[in-house]
Structure 1
Amino acid sequence: MIKNMLCGATALALALTPLALSPAAAAPSAPSPAAAAVLTLDDALEQLPVADESRQGYTRSAFKHWNAGLDPADGCNTRAEVLLAEAVEEPAVSAGCKLTGGSWISYYDNQEVNDPAKLDIDHMVPLAESWDSGASAWDAKRREAYANDQTASASLVAVTARTNRSKADQDPAQWMPPLPEAHCRYISEWVATKLRWNLTADQAEADALTAYAEGPCETTVVHFTPAP
């Protein structure tokens, strides 16, 4: 009987003692960052879904920009941070992150620009085009991340205002940079952005991209990392 009482007491003690968990079991591990990919343009296009597009419900205000940028403490918004990152000659920065001087090369038209006010920050895949091809289903936080994406160098680019406004919301079936030597880089960065954000292409766009992949941009590669 005493033996049975001791066994019962031991069982009760075990039941009341918290289990010792290994670090792996104590908390779920953080997800691994997405791996960067380097593909030929042809292989990258194989991964780009083709689907009909719709602009129904689009409004530019659905994409909050420019926000406080990568470093809110620096007082510069995304636009200013992109200008600072892409300058070939660094501008002076005064109170309120006002930029003066500096030098940039707009790769769409190979123009040197010495006044930041004459530059636009182009969304490689325009906001309206991203809406058409998948962003309409995103929440506001993800659309803000897209509109201010500085963690991929292809997403935002400082170019002359005239080329950016000529491009507007057109895809490569409708518009290409005026400088022919820029075409393969542009196609590569367009496809990289679409793959990064899991966006689709319509049939005319896909046909135009394929024509470049099979022609002048046959040896072009695409670098991208899927967005978080």
Structure 2
Amino acid sequence: MAIINRNRRKNKLYPIYILLIIIIFALYYYYKNIYKSNLINEYNRKDWGNWIDEDKNGLNTRHEVLAEESLIKPVISNNKVMKGKWFDKYTGKYFTNPSDLDIDHLVPLKNAHISGASNWSKKKKNRYYNYLKYDNHLIAVSKSANRNKSDKSPVNWLPPNKEYQCEYVREWFKIKTAWGLTIEEGFDEVSNRVCKGK
């Protein structure tokens, strides 16, 4: 009788073993596909291209922004802005040497990538990279501030110039919404804090 009972218990356990094996294989293929997907959509700066001269006036996007944002008539030579005067909204400081400035994507490329742009075509990525139809999509800022910002969202970085912080988060929201990009968790809390009473 004892032998029969043991055999019955074994027979009852077989379906459980089979189910466990099926679950293990299912999880294996699930995470394997996620891993492959992450590899395919991995951020690659080269996919976004470089500055272009869209209107064929001799100035590429960087110098278009520098010329447009200069507070005085810029000095242009060999299709490059050589001198002008710029107010850096991030730091609240003025600059006269364009070499001290970066042209920053207010919503950085890598942040855009992880917010929905990973599946964009290279053509659309380059359009985003060089987009001039919205004033604050690209802005001239100090190199040091831009390096400090890197690809951070407002949840992790805000301009040291507190007077610009509210405008910064509002522009961030507008740009992300316009391009169909997702908003970070915690953004609303930051926005409410820096824009309180404004």
Query: Which bracket does the TM-score occupy, shorter chain normalised?
Result: 0.7 to 0.9
Superposition pairs of residues 35-184 of structure 1, within 5 angstroms: 56-69=41-54, 71-72=55-56, 74-95=57-78, 97-184=79-166
Alignment partner, residue 25 of structure 1 = none
TM normalised by structure 2 equals: 0.76
Measure, in 2, the Cα distance between the counterparts of 1:212 and 1:58: 26
Q: Among all aligned residue pairs of Structure 1 and Structure 2, give the percentage whose two residues are the same amino acid.
A: 35
Q: How far off its partner does 1:219 sit?
A: 5.6
1:188-220 per-residue CA deviation (whole Å, 9 max, x = no partner) reads: 1111110110001232xxx1x212443331465
Match of 2:3 in 1: none
Larger relative helix fraction = 2
Name the structure 1 match of 2:188.
Answer: 210
Aligned equivalents of 2:176 and 2:165: distance in 1?
17
User: Following the alignment from structure 1 to structure 2, what is the Cα–Cα distance between the partners of residues 78 and 219?
Assistant: 36
Moved over 6 A (4+): none
Determine helix, strand or coil for the equivalent of 1:93: strand
CA distance in 2, matches of 1:125, 1:215: 20
Cα–Cα, structure 1 residues 215 and 174, in superposed 2: closer, same or farther, change >3 Å?
A: closer
Kindly state the Cα deviation for residue 66 of structure 1 after the two structures are TM-superposed: 0.8
Following superposition, the deviation at residue 101 of structure 1 comes to: 1.9
- CA drift of 1:59 comes to 0.7
> What SS does the aligned partner of 1:157 have?
strand
How big is the shift at 1:141?
0.9
The structural deviation recorded for 1:115 is: 0.4
Asked if structure 1 preserves the Cα contact closer than 8 Å seen for 2:154 and 2:190, the reply is no
3-state DSSP of counterpart to 1:215 = helix
Alpha-carbon separation, structure 2, partners of 1:107 and 1:161? 12
* Alignment match, 1:187: 169
The reply on whether 1:198 has 2:180 as its aligned counterpart is: yes
SS in structure 2 at match of 1:178: coil
2:115 alignment partner AA: S
3-state SS, counterpart of residue 199 of structure 1: coil
TM-score scaled by length of structure 1: 0.67
Partner SS for 2:81: strand
